[in-house]
A and B are shown apart, each in its own frame.
Chain A
Amino acid sequence: AQKVTQAQTEISVVEKEDVTLDCVYETRDTTYYLFWYKQPPSGELVFLIRRNSFDEQNEISGRYSWNFQKSTSSFNFTITASQVVDSAVYFCALSEASNTGNQFYFGTGTSLTVIP
């Protein structure tokens, strides 16, 4: 069963618009970690955020914000005032504490295109 679901395959927005990328996860662990990574065309994974399951506080970092809701098993990512440089594929990922060594389960990714 898919542990991380990113229902949006591709999104296009016009520059300066806000955009929210959805992420829904599934786990039986009570301790787990959620991540967002950005993957530009070059391929490397750029770490954006890590959140543990006991910290439901929403986080804001510049134009980025994250909404973690355990009740709906969601960890959504919002980019405010999008810019062309935000164009990339974004992956949501889950790591379970019961898995030693931090194996990651990745969602299928959302390809974001910001149109100038």
Chain B
Amino acid sequence: GAVVSQHPSRVICKSGTSVKIECRSLDFQATTMFWYRQFPKQSLMLMATSNEGSKATYEQGVEKDKFLINHASLTLSTLTVTSAHPEDSSFYICSATDKNTEAFFGQGTRLTVV
């Protein structure tokens, strides 16, 4: 079946630095990918919709200048958390949709900002 690979699975960074998370569709092309965030013991909340070749669409309350999304190809979307702070510590997970409209999730990235 289709696979979505997310990297890294865990990252610890210092406050003020930037972190890039990659989401790749390994065996299909994804024109649309989604980025979700999950705080401890909470649900997954959509952050933004990433569209290949165009600007991402952000959900209300998500700072687009802080969470930079780039979807430069049909198999890769990246989320960069800029100037990370401890409150950005969370679990980030992406999903991608194939031509059959099946959605597949990455393994997630646990970000800890110290």
A57 at the interface (CB under 8 A from B): no
**CB atoms of B105 and A44 under 8 A apart:** yes
Bound form: Cα–Cα A54–B53 in Å: 34
Checking A95, A103, A108 against B49 with a beta-carbon cut-off of 8 angstroms, the contacting residue is A103
B46 at the interface (CB under 8 A from A): yes
A101 at the interface (CB under 8 A from B): yes
Interface size class of A (residues with CB under 8 A): 10 to 19
B32 (CB) vs chain A CBs: closest residue: A101
A105 (CB) vs chain B CBs: closest residue: B46
> Binary interface profile of B, 95-114, with partner A (CB < 8 Å = 1, else 0)?
10100011101011010000
Bound form: Cα–Cα A113–B3 in Å: 29
Within 8 A of B (CB), among A82-116: 91, 95, 100-109, 111
B54 at the interface (CB under 8 A from A): no
Interface size class of B (residues with CB under 8 A): 20 to 34
Q: Please give the distance in Å from B7's CB to the nearest CB on chain A.
A: 13
> Binary interface profile of B, 3-33, with partner A (CB < 8 Å = 1, else 0)?
0000000000000000000000000000110
Given the known inter-chain contacts A91-B43, A106-B44, A109-B43, please indicate yes or no for A100 contacting B108, CB distance below 8 A. no
Q: Which residues on the B side are within 8 Å of A50 (C-beta)?
A: 102
**CB atoms of A43 and B108 under 8 A apart:** yes
A7 at the interface (CB under 8 A from B): no
B67 at the interface (CB under 8 A from A): no
Checking B43, B97, B105, B110 against A108 with a beta-carbon cut-off of 8 angstroms, the contacting residue is B43
A48 at the interface (CB under 8 A from B): no
A100 (CB) vs chain B CBs: closest residue: B32
Bound form: Cα–Cα A101–B101 in Å: 7
Q: Which residues on the B side are within 8 Å of A104 (C-beta)?
A: 34, 36, 44, 46, 95, 103
Q: Which residues on the B side are within 8 Å of A106 (C-beta)?
A: 36, 43-45
A11 at the interface (CB under 8 A from B): no
Bound form: Cα–Cα A91–B101 in Å: 20
Q: Which residues of A contact B (CB under 8 A)?
A: 37, 43-45, 47, 50, 91, 95, 100-109, 111
